[in-house]
Amino acid sequence: MGRYPPNSTTRLSTPSSLNSATPEISPHPVYGWMSWIAVLNPSRVTFATLVPLIDEAVGIAAEKFKRRKR
């Protein structure tokens, strides 16, 4: 089984963060450079927080796609 690379911003290299009950939104340990995020222990509140961000990201991606098609 693979391991995540050490990353001080996500704290995924520490076992306690993987067992935490607190939801955490952080840069994805591998794809963070592409603006991906990781959600540890998501909850309904976390999901409600992410929905507007996802909608915004989809809108930005759609605009970029339209500009590229011209």
CA 12/CA 70 separation, integer angstroms:
42
Give, for all 70 residues of the chain, the pLDDT tens digit.
455 555 555 555 555 555 567 888 888 899 988 888 888 888 888 889 899 989 998 999 899 999 987 6
Confirm if 47 and 23 have CB atoms less than 8 A apart.
no
Domain ranges of the chain: 24-69
pTM over 0.75: no
How much is the pLDDT for 59? Answer: 93
